[in-house]
Structure 1
Amino acid sequence: MPSYKLYYFDARGAAELARLIMKQAGQDFEDIRLAGEKWLEKKPEMPLKAMPVLEIDGKKICQSMAIVRYLAREFGLMGSSNMEALAIEELLEVFTEITTKHLMKIYYEQDQQKKVELMKEFKETGMPPYITFIESRLKENNDGKGFYVGDKVTVADLALYNTMFSYKHWMGKEGQDPFEGSPLLGEFYQRVASLPNIAAWEKARPQTNM
């Protein structure tokens, strides 16, 4: 069995989905969180001088979604067929699109009042088409009462849960949680949060702002 080290900042951010995959799979790994001088010391060793980085038996791999896809395949979380894998890939690409088209603008806005206005705009006009799409896909599988695809947990469930968690804790503080008002997704969130390994990680993981 390979040994894993995951390098990132002391935050959920771009590494949290990889952490969730390994926690759900029951895979031991070193959760290495770097900041300040420690990050500057390690930075020259990292591919592209950035994080997250997954080290597998000494080999360092970069790019968060490449790491996610590798881990999902490695631990049987990419679905039970090519069609399930396609639906999972589709959802992952949706979240990438949301981030690049909407969230980065909000995240880098320095004026707090303008930031809240952008959150409100995103909640009211930017996110609803995506929520409608995600709900429709979820309903295609067991009328939305189970997992995103198939009859067992996949990385799609973890990705959707992680995204909802992030929005609730970031935008929800400003009253702008875009998933608010979707009982179907609210129930889905609770199902994933109740998975034993995920619930245990929620209690054990370091508390961070992001």
Structure 2
Amino acid sequence: IDMTKPLDLTFQGAVKSFVSETEWTPEEKLAIRKRILEQSIPKYLGYLNKGLEDNGTGFLVGDSLTIADLKLYYVGALMIQKGILDGIPADTLDAYPKVKENIEKVKSVPEIAAWYEKHPGAKYPESFDFVP
């Protein structure tokens, strides 16, 4: 989980300020997301992509699903691939093939696949403020 925490925190900051009483303006959000796209994503996803390559199992740790894989799935599949953050293209993960493979592997876990089958077209909860 330590591997994925910086990426998770980075994307939380791309969504909403947790330390300020005022919301960011749309311009501020886009500036933050531009910095994330140019600096944080290459740093963290590059590191995780290499870790997945080195592990060789398709999972971040060992040979089975862990919370680390779920955290990466949260950021990768739910925030990046869905294209819900203006300024961070949905195809951003194309540069990180092992991360994309990991996301597909998580989606294929029987319990997760069954949930998606039961909820076709499910979107990320609309109660969160993801779009400026």
Q: Same fold (TM over 0.5)?
A: yes
Identity between Structure 1 and Structure 2 (%): 25
Structure index of larger Rg: 1
CA distance 1:169–1:147, shift in 2 (3 Å):
closer
**Could you say if the C-alpha distance between residues 121 and 171 of structure 1 is closer, same or farther in structure 2, counting changes exceeding 3 Å?**
farther
Unaligned runs of 5+ in 2: 18-22
TM superposition shift of 1:193: 0.9
Q: What does 1:1-210 align with in structure 2 at a 5 Å threshold?
A: 89-95=1-7, 98-99=8-9, 103-104=12-13, 106-108=15-17, 109-142=23-56, 145-168=57-80, 172-177=84-89, 178-204=92-118, 207=123, 208-209=125-126, 210=128
Separation in structure 1 between the aligned mates of residue 84 and residue 44 of structure 2, nearest angstrom: 18
Does the C-alpha gap of structure 1 residues 119 and 153 become closer, same or farther in structure 2, counting only changes over 3 Å? same
Q: Residue 204 and residue 173 in structure 1: after superposition, are their counterparts in 2 closer, same or farther (change >3 A)?
A: farther
Structure with more contact order per residue of length (Cα contacts < 8 Å, sep ≥ 6): 2
Which structure shows the higher strand fraction?
A: 1
Offset at residue 186 of structure 1 (A) = 1.2
How large is the RMSD of aligned CA atoms in angstroms? 2.8
Please tell me the residue identity of whatever aligns with 1:163. V
Contact 2:59 2:69 (8 Å CA) reproduced:
yes
Query: Gapped runs of 5+ residues in structure 1?
Result: 1-88
Q: Which amino acid aligns with 1:198?
A: I
Amino acid in the other structure paired with 2:61: V
Normalised to the residue count of structure 1, the TM-score between the two structures is 0.46
CA positional deviation for 1:102: 6.2
- Output the CA distance in 1 between the equivalents of 2:96 and 2:118: 28
